[in-house]
Amino acid sequence: MEELLWRRPSLCGDGNNCPEVAITGDTVHIRSSLLPSSTAQLTLTEWRDLLAGIRNGEFDV
């Protein structure tokens, strides 16, 4: 498996409770900085749908 380049939002700074994302080809890998060994994989379409849902407030409680 190739080494992933993980990125986190700039607002997290050096915090240790942040989402992290690595994009490779047609796969988006996501994880929490609290549990870096647990990752999820999304297709680019799933990633775009997730971001659109977040922007549209679909997950607001």
Q: What is the pLDDT of residues 47-61, one digit of tens each?
A: 999 999 999 999 998
What 8-state DSSP symbol labels residue 39?
E
CB 19 within 8 A of CB 28: no
Give the pLDDT of residue 17. 86
What 8-state DSSP symbol labels residue 27?
E
pTM value? 0.81
Give the pLDDT of residue 16. 78
Per-residue model confidence as pLDDT tens digits over 2-16: 789 999 998 887 777
Q: Which residues contact 34 (CB under 8 A, 6 or more apart)?
A: 16, 17
